[in-house]
Structure 1
Amino acid sequence: MEILEWIQNWFIQNCDGEWEHSDGIQITTIDTPGWDVEIDISNTSIANIHVPWILNETNTQDWYGVKIENQKFNASGDPGKLIYLLGLFKEMIQKIEN
């Protein structure tokens, strides 16, 4: 299953009449340049997990970072990393749920 289809299905499964009215899923660009992904995980099985900021940087054109804090999954990366960042989220969810 393609990552966008998976994220779409995950979003649908987590809509409960309230969660989607708050933070939900936010994908924005940053001026580095790159992507920033923030996903509210407050109603998920990983809501209470804390992962400090982990930065993986080969150079200024090849980098990403990820953390889980305050019931939010946050990931940022270079312009070519959006699919990878969403994939990290999927991987974390599936590891915890299985």
Structure 2
Amino acid sequence: MTGDPFGFLQRWYAAQCDDEWEHAYGVTIDTLDNPGWRIAVDLVGTDLEGRAFDWRSLDRTEDDWIHIRSDGRLFQGACGPGNLAEMVAEFEKFATTPASTGSI
């Protein structure tokens, strides 16, 4: 782990860009209305394609929670309003841990 999840995400995204991938795939970070955040990271055409795990959840309080999963084509997650960096750090763990056992 780098200690800088957003820096890792930026570098990972830039490494995927090959004048083709970024035209069809990418990374989306959006807000939820409950409130919270969501992330979707396309894995197709990357070294992470095919790596999957079922939903993993950590629910601390109504506003402090995180849920992540990967179906092998898309890493996705949702989290509370103060957990965005933690959720992006979970993507970093997924991307840098062989066969991603995940941590939540």
TM-score after normalising by structure 1: 0.89
Other-structure match for 1:91: 93
For structure 2, the residue ranges without an aligned partner over 5 or more in a row are 100-104
Paired residue type of 1:56: L
> Which residue matches 2:41?
39
Aligned structure 1 segments of 4 or more residues deviating by more than 6 angstroms: none
Equivalent position of 2:12 in the other structure: 10
* Cross-structure match for 2:102: none
Comparing 27-36 and 63-72, the one that deviates more:
63-72
Please point out which of 74, 78, 82 is paired with 2:76: 74
TM-align CA RMSD: 1.6
Q: Percent identity?
A: 26
Greater percentage in strand = 1
How many Å apart are 1:78 and its aligned residue?
0.1
CA contact (8 A) 1:45 1:96 kept: no
- Normalization by structure 2: what TM-score? 0.84
The aligned length equals 97
Judge which range, 78-87 or 46-55, deviates more. 46-55
